[in-house]
Structure 1
Amino acid sequence: MPAAIQVLECSFLSGIKTGKVNPLLAVLKPKLVLFPEDLKSRCPLKEDAPWSFLYYSEVKTIKILNTREEFEVRLAANVALGLQPRQLDGTIAVARLRAKLHLSNGQYMLVAPKDHSDGRSKRQLLHWGAVDAGRVLSALQEKGLTCGFAADDDVSAGCERSVSVTSPEEALVKMTSERTVIYCDDENTTKQIYDALSSVCNGI
């Protein structure tokens, strides 16, 4: 429900200077700060501050969202155009996003960070879904690795499958319904195995 709030001025007897405002907020760690409109020019705030801030003035209504409840977030156009969604099933698609949460006039907005380089070439993919052991074995062999299912692999159990790599270096790949682990001491072989897994898994 709409609420009428009376804003009272809290005067610091010590005479706090505008340069002390940001250090003070860093100690208090607020979620949202309201400033009088006339302080906008005299007290510039940090763009990368972890708190949101709004300016108020007389006879002017501003919207303040309740941060404890669910809220809508709008996507800036340049951020939305950069999304590359991957289909999970017929109704759901997922995409990886790097943005900054910004609050303006009571509305949350995801905007592109100042550093526009998203580092896609350097970051590792995030994978999901069960791994098919047969497809992994074929992908490893296509990479030129000599491998086969481990001798003690119990197919009937259906809980864990293991692929043993013997060349160019020894390695072991254990796959369960929850995770896949690569055991290998050689960096190049590990990368080949990771690339083979990436080719048969969904990832963003």
Structure 2
Amino acid sequence: MHALIVVAHPDPQSLTHRVAAHLAEGVTLSDAGHSVEFADLAAEGFDPRFTAADIARHLRKGVLPADVAAEQARIDRADALVLVYPVYWWSMPGLIKGWIDRVFTNGWAYDDRPDTGLVKLLGRLPVHLVGLGGADAGTYVRHGYFGAMKTQIDHGIFDYCGARVVTSELLLEAGPNHAAAHLETARAVGRRLFDTSRRYEATDRVKVPEFR
């Protein structure tokens, strides 16, 4: 099985990158046959700007931009998609949101036509979300951020395309040793990455873990 881990953080020494690396370690330790590919959007210089070429493609009038085609090919090769990102303004960073804006195109992620309505095209894709927040759980609870983020990301993006959100983790500040705890959580997510995906396929349903 092959996992694509997409990371959006400009600092390769950040906790976000360390979490992604530990998650990948968990994947490979769980089974010698599993493989991992990293998409480091900042290091690779992915352009998140939604341009006229992207609009044309959305309207089925243009050629798919080469960088978008390359990202879609990476996802097509993957048996699981993992997004690891810091929480900026209670959502994804603009870099990873722009990646979704451009890569999850009409005709590939979903098919929306006036005569047939919406058809979800990513039903075969299990998705694992790991966000790192700079506040504690109490702040998220008081302001309703848990529900807001699940609505806009888990439901608003991935459910719209039919992709199955299997893991939805928020790693929040919780004392002086929270970084070490986050790394262990990431490794655990990696170890069960394909177990949870196979379990979903076997039962045709999934229980999304509560945010932590």
TM-score by length of 1: 0.25
Larger RCO (alpha carbons 8 Å, 6+ apart): 2
Higher strand share: 1
- Report the structure number with the largest CA radius of gyration: 1
TM-score by length of 2: 0.24
